[in-house]
């Protein structure tokens, strides 16, 4: 995809780097030359401009962009003005970072496609990890449902999914298992990687060091994750 990211703070720069590494064509923008200089050695296309100046956008291919991300995180007013200009000029999808509840309201009134809260979302995810002792990772589907990676309780090791009857007893579905495999690279070094075993069946046996990928209500996943 062709993506423009406006704002090169920690969130914007990290997003730009990750999107570039995964094959996207990224143009990064910031008005501070210090941040532009920091990014230009890591990204192919970096532009120094004031994103609150509509005339400055003549230097950007906004009409050709599939996605524009407003990642400004220091100035709420500048973020709102930038988003308004982007909304006017861009025909693609827009993602905007929000800094407050009022900011949320303004972005919703603008009809922005996706509103993100990086710090809040990171804090919530970390809180969930801390509270669930066997939780490895978690992806929220909505306010009630999640897909989570959890370590199987000790009592599950060596038993099949059918024997455990997890769907009936715990009201969650096992989507798959991640299983540790040893691989040897081209120089002969051995490393351990987690591989997806595919769609598990009732006869699939849970092994030591497996990771269960489960789907269900948060409260049910919490119960399962805290089981010994």
In tens, the pLDDT along 203-227 reads 999 998 899 999 999 889 888 888 8
| 138 in the same domain as 86 | no
pLDDT tens, residue by residue, 157-178: 999 999 999 899 999 999 999 8
C-alpha dist (Å) from residue 188 to 41, 135, 192, 193, 194: 33, 33, 13, 15, 19
Total domains, the chain: 2
Checking if the pLDDT of 53 tops 80, the result is yes
As a whole number of angstroms, the distance between CA 226 and CA 224 comes to: 6
Q: Contact, 8 vs 38, CB < 8 A?
A: yes
| 62 in the same domain as 21 | yes
- Nearest alpha-carbon partner for 12 in 70, 74, 75: 70
Is 150 inside any structural domain?
yes
Per-residue pLDDT, 26: 92
DSSP state of 154: G
Residues in the chain: 228
| 146 in the same domain as 75 | no
Domain span at residue 175 reads 129-225
Q: Which has more pLDDT, 190 or 119? A: 119
Please state the rounded mean pLDDT for residues 198-207.
92
Per-residue pLDDT, 59: 86
pTM to 2 decimals? Answer: 0.62
| 217 in the same domain as 169 | yes
Per-residue pLDDT, 132: 55
pLDDT tens, residue by residue, 173-192: 999 998 888 776 555 667 67
Is 102 inside any structural domain?
yes
Percent of the chain surpassing pLDDT 70: 91
Is 82 inside any structural domain?
yes
Q: Give Cα 210 to chain centroid, integer Å.
A: 23
Q: What element of type H or E holds 146?
A: strand 145-150
Per-residue pLDDT, 47: 93
């Amino acid at each position: 995809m062709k993506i423009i990211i406006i704002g090169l703070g920690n969130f914007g720069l990290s997003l730009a780097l990750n999107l570039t590494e995964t094959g996207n064509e990224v143009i990064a923008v910031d008005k501070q030359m210090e941040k532009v200089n920091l990014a230009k050695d890591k990204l192919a296309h970096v532009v120094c401009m004031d994103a609150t100046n509509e005339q400055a956008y003549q230097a950007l291919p906004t009409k050709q962009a599939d996605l524009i991300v407003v990642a400004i995180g220091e100035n709420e007013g500048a973020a709102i003005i930038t988003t308004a200009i982007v909304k006017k000029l861009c025909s693609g999808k827009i993602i905007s970072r929000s800094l407050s509840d009022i900011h949320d309201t303004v972005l919703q009134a603008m009809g922005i496609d996706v509103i993100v809260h990086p710090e809040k979302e990171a804090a919530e995810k970390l809180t969930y990890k801390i509270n669930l002792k066997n939780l490895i990772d978690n992806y929220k589907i909505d306010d009630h449902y999640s897909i989570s990676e959890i370590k199987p309780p000790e009592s599950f090791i060596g038993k099949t999914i059918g024997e455990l009857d997890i769907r009936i007893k715990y009201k969650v579905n096992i989507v798959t298992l991640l299983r540790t495999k040893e691989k040897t690279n081209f120089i002969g070094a051995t490393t351990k990687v987690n591989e997806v075993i595919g769609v598990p069946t009732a006869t699939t046996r849970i092994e030591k060091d497996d990771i269960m990928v489960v789907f269900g209500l948060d409260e049910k996943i919490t119960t399962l994750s805290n089981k010994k």
